[in-house]
Chains A and B, each alone.
Chain A
Amino acid sequence: MAKQTSFFTSISRLYPHVRPILPRLVMGLLSALLASLMALAIPQVLRVLVNESLKPGGSAEAVWTASLVILLLGIAEAGLVALRRQFVINPATTVETRMRVSLYGHLQDLTVSFHDRWGSGQLLSRAMTDLNFLRRWMAFGAIMLVVTTLTVVIGVAVMFSMSWQLALIFLAAAVPIMIYGFRFRTRFSKVARRSQDQAGDLATTVEESVHGIRVLKAFGRSQEALENFNEQAQELRQTEIAKAKHLATFSLVVTLLPELALGAGLVVGIMLASTDQLSIGSLVAFFATAAVVAAPVEFCGMLLAMALTAKSAVDRHFEVMDARNTITSPDKPRRPAELKGALSFHDASFAFEDAPDKPILKNISLDIRPGETMALVGITGSGKSALLQLVPRLYEVTGGAITIDGVDLREFSVEDLRTVVAVAFEDTTLFSSSVRDNVLLGAPDAGPADSRDAALEEALDVAQAHFAYSLPDGVDTLIGEEGLSLSGGQRQRIALARAIAAKPAVLVLDDPLSALDVNTEVLVEARLREVLADTTTLIVAHRPSTVALADRVALLEDGRITAVGTHTELLATNSHYRYVIASLDTEPRDLDSELSAFEDRSEEISR
């Protein structure tokens, strides 16, 4: 996953984002440079002013001018510091925000199978921590890196002008630093990357521990979850400390070597001066400059670490941005001349990307006529849910084709397809908004408000979700994660209402009545039958009661359609179908003698 790329290859990928703000970054850089020059200049100016114009008995005017000059320089320095921020902050945060929004947009586009693989904590750490860090690096780290490098280069040049021998000694220290810096780069990059990944995993663990809180509580496993989390957090801590150790060693080298060179320089310089090969003035000036250069040299360890962290943040960002969305709209989307809703599977197969040799669905051929309701029956794991998700192209067929009214799904624009097809999943996802917004999510936008209200009313009625009206704020009650929590049955009915309100040509329902009690189920079915009259429907069914909604039934066995027919036909002819759907009455009696006793009694009573 983490392939090593060179620093500049990675950072250069920022270029398109940074290009529009480049002038401002350069201005910021110039301000920073000027500010540090100003800071350097003030002491020199002071020296000159004090030495030249201030003498006992001198003119008061000179004092005023000197103070004024210093004041102006001081104001200029502060101004430049402020200016650097002014130049950089807005553009840098804009780039950050743009990258964040484009990451989010890209993630929404990426396929469901991508999201199956990636924990949301990992994605979140990319969207928040990584981009925050990049912004700070762009606004501060990168600029300071340039300023520091320039300061060092200029400083060394000045040192050369004073004494080439001493400068050479000083420069000699640079060679091992460079060599070590190289090693530091590879090592530090690796740990930096690992710590970012671990932080992402930790966020994923937090997310799971909260989403799975009921299970953890039900089994009293909070302690184990905590231990697991603790272990992961410890690992992250170890990585962070390892990172700090690398940085510490590098700072050690970067601090020590120039100082050692200066120590040697001191001895050599004094020896040179003693033989008058070097003036004392130059010696003093050399060390004064060396003192100025030493601080930025030390600082560069931190800046380098920042740059390397930024690099791996960029890598992580583009790792996701480079993931291709394989389910896209064609260049020239088509749609059937007349949308009737004939859904056909032509020899369709499906396997998950990472297990191509274990197809989930094999050679599915099935024709569902416009307006027909087809039930899909099969044991758990036979591939029913996968088959349903192929219809709105949440997953893509790996062989064969699926068509609606003769047009291949892949020829539709994705958005159009998902307008034509509506789904209700078994595990219902409600969004944090009102009941109204949740139900009307897929409903056609056009039309006056009252027609939308009518659609809402009808959908809630069909799904027997009248409870929505008695919520605290009626249909405007906020539900979903951020709102009122509903029971499983209530959620399922809202999700069903949502699919119905979309008024699709093709409706795909994954066991939509599983959480409903028998009475409600009967009511929903009665209403559904009316609504589904003109809608092509594919419905996963586990119970005879749900099958009763369907005109025909397709039996899915181990990824293949093994029989298609009416419920009665299949019951009569297909033993597997009987096995899957037949009621529990035919179960072996040895299990519960109470049951048979009870059956007898109830028969007596009904007589």
Chain B
Amino acid sequence: MSSATFGTANEDNAHLTRTESKAVRRRSLALLGSLIRPVRARFWLTIGAVVLSQAARVAGPALIAFGIDHALPALRAGNSLPLAFAGVAYLAAAAATAGLTALYVTSTARLSQAMLLDLRVRVFRHTQRLSLEFHEKYTSGRIIARQTSDLEALRELLDSGVSSLASGLLFMAFTAITVFALDWRTGVLVLAAGVPMYFLARWYQKHSQIAFRESRVVSARLIVHFVETMTGIRAVKAFRKERENAARYAELSEDYRRATVRSINLNGIFQPGLVLIGNVCVAVVLLTGGFRVLSGELAVGVLLALILSTKRFFQPVDQMAMFYNSFQSAQAALEKVSGLLEEIPTVRPPQTPVALPYARGSIDFNGVEFRYGDGPVIIPRLDLHIPAGQTVALVGQTGAGKSTLAKLIARFYDVSAGSVTLDGVDLRQLTTEDLRRNVVMVTQEAFLFSGSVADNIALGRPEASREEIEDAARAVGAHAFITELPDGYDTDVNKRGGRVSAGQRQLISFARAFLARPAVLILDEATSSLDIPSERMVQQGLAGLLRGTREAGTRDTNPAGTHGAGRTALIIAHRLSTVETADRVLVVHDGRVVEDGTPGQLIGDGGAFARLHGAWKDSLV
């Protein structure tokens, strides 16, 4: 296995070495195979329908011949029975042809849609599983490209390919048998045409593979640029980036066009090439046959039949070329998709999970060390105990490692050494459900999904009733503005929350966390966009939630949640107003905890926290 092409690495390279190329092709074919396996019954059914409809189609001319050769004389002789038979049989054949055609059209669609659905869901599930580390490198535009234009290539193959391939092959096989039956020498000649065709196909495969790979790479680039522009349109406009963007997009579009033309032109040589080989073969058959006719070896009628059959033998070659073309295209697309699917999530669910339905919320860092991949150590050896119910504030400069600590508790990343435990259970041993029920993190970036405000809050606990949703909103002071919206809680938040301000978005995302009522709540700069009155409201609500009282407590459906100790909270905020209410403050510097104590103690010690606190006090004047 060449590791250079593993997963999405080297994805943008269209010119692979032989072994690399082989590896990605194998992976792509394996994916195709795994897509067909679950629907193989339907696959064969489709093929069967195609074959039978072809057979029924052949019956038509045979019946006409029968009618003219037998029914007509019989009718003249006064016997109308053969005519009736011919007529009825013809109608039956017609009905069968039509019915089978309709069957394979729907069957092909069912087949291809089942495979596409399977692949779509697989890719979606896998991208959701992949860790943040991956998503930070692999842009959304790329994933969209995989999910749209790459899948489209597969769809083209499935929609057109299967039936034309099956009927074509069958047709060729039948015709070849006829030719051999008539004259084996001609049969050999026809088969000999396969040799140049094979070489032409090899040539085509080699070149089109590169062309299609290029076309995948360029189309992904085009999509990435497009998505980036459309999602950042405000900044594009505000800084007049339109012209530069337009030039870049035109350039990418032209690249894409060139790649497309290159692949089409290859097919433009391949397909007429096959037709030409077929036609040359016909001429050769005529030539050799002609001389044998001259010498009396071969009857003229047989020669005519041979030539016509040879001609017919090559007819489906057109379709086969088209199939091969879409096959090459789909394979290049699946190379990329299979690469994405091959990526291994660095944060994996456990093999043998330990059940922890309702945690109390004590967190321990045991000899934790962390680095991104092979990068420099971000957190060197940390031991820390946070008892259940404690509210801990993390303080330190940007880049000190506060967010990293928080993300380790939320298991966005796995520790490089040591362990993080919740109630004594290693986070890596918890199922995703248990972990997420117990630990919830609210980040600064408050993303809203399209749908209603209520839907967005309900993300915290999908089974929550409307009443609980409203309570959560009330608790963080979001209820007032939500009821002011055109349709209240049912207002569509539009694309990326266009209609609600950044502060309102943060309130909604807070309400989400309140609704979730986790044992451990992590707030990473979650109040930064709030104005002071809103922040005050959130803090009141937060205090209630953390003590396990008020709405949060009374409506608690969590049976173990009434243990009274409240919830554990980890708060990262540069607004020290939030920090002051904490039970404990950890000052983080370069990934180490340099100060640890109650806010009062730390101010008394006159360390880093005391200085920060002083600066903050000044900023409030």
Contacts and interface: CB of A to CB of B under 8 A. Distances in A.
B442 interface: yes
Contact of A517 (B253, B403, B574): B574
B94 interface: yes
Contact of B261 (A90, A419, A522): A90
A77 B279 contact: yes
B167 interface: no
Contacts of A226: 121, 124-125, 128
Contacts of A283: 68
Interface stretch (B20-28, B417-425, B497-505): B497-505
Given A78-B275, A425-B234, A514 B245 contact: no
Most chain A beta-carbon contacts within 10 A, residue among B235, B268, B295? B235
B280 A381 contact: no
Contacts of B101: 248, 251-252, 255, 298
Interface in A69-121: 70-71, 73-75, 77-79, 81-82, 85-86, 89-90, 93-94, 96-97, 100-101, 104-105, 107-109, 112, 115-121
A580 B84 CA distance: 95
Interface stretch (B30-38, B192-200, B286-294): B286-294
B264 A259 contact: no
A56 B291 CA distance: 9
Contacts of A467: 399
Interface of B is mostly: helix
A132 B499 contact: no
Interface in A155-178: none
Nearest to A70: B283
Interface stretch (A16-24, A403-411, A453-461, A487-495): A487-495
A209 B436 contact: no
A115 B63 contact: no
A542 B250 CA distance: 42
A79 B279 CA distance: 11
A92 B275 CA distance: 24
Contact of A116 (B141, B495, B512): B495
A259 B93 CA distance: 9
Interface stretch (A236-244, A328-336, A338-346, A366-374): A236-244
Contacts of B182: none
Contacts, number: 540
B486 interface: yes
A312 B180 CA distance: 49
Contact of B279 (A74, A105, A485): A74
Contacts of B484: 381
B497 to A, nearest CB: 9
B232 A429 contact: yes
Contacts of A93: 257, 260-261, 264
A605 interface: yes
Nearest to B529: A514
B232 to A, nearest CB: 4
B619 A543 contact: yes
A572 interface: no
B19 interface: no
Contacts of A46: 286, 304, 307-308, 311
B232 A490 contact: no
Contact of B90 (A79, A244, A266, A352): A266
B439 to A, nearest CB: 9
A607 interface: no
Nearest to A576: B533
B379 to A, nearest CB: 15
A515 B290 contact: no
A54 interface: yes
B54 interface: no
A379 B486 contact: no
B531 A580 contact: yes
Contact of A117 (B106, B308, B495): B495
B189 interface: no
A204 B500 CA distance: 19
B442 A380 contact: no
Interface stretch (A6-14, A144-152, A211-219, A526-534): A211-219
A543 to B, nearest CB: 7
A213 B132 contact: yes
B276 A260 contact: no
Nearest to B136: A485
B506 to A, nearest CB: 8
Given A50-B300, A81-B272, A487 B105 contact: no
Contacts of A221: 436, 459, 462
A60 interface: yes
A222 interface: yes
Contact of B64 (A59, A129, A287, A425): A287
Nearest to A216: B128
Contacts of B139: 432, 481-482
A392 B231 contact: no
A203 interface: yes
Nearest to B543: A591
A318 interface: no
B89 to A, nearest CB: 9
Interface stretch (B144-152, B380-388, B554-562): B144-152
B501 A211 contact: no
A541 to B, nearest CB: 9
Contacts of A116: 494-495, 498-499
Contacts of B291: 60, 63
Given A71-B283, A274-B76, A418-B237, A597 B507 contact: no
B224 interface: yes
A240 B279 CA distance: 39
Contacts of A47: 304
Interface string B213-242: 000000100111011111111111111111
Interface string A421-456: 011011111011000000001100000000000000
Contacts of A442: 238-240
8 contacts: A78-B276, A210-B127, A211-B231, A213-B128, A256-B97, A379-B531, A482-B228, A598-B598
> 9 shortest A-B CB distances, which residue pairs?
A220-B436, A74-B279, A244-B109, A259-B94, A63-B290, A380-B503, A116-B498, A545-B619, A256-B98
Given A54-B290, A260-B94, A522-B615, 18 more contacts: A43-B308, A43-B311, A46-B311, A58-B294, A63-B287, A63-B290, A75-B279, A85-B268, A104-B249, A120-B230, A128-B223, A203-B144, A207-B231, A256-B95, A259-B91, A425-B235, A429-B232, A579-B533
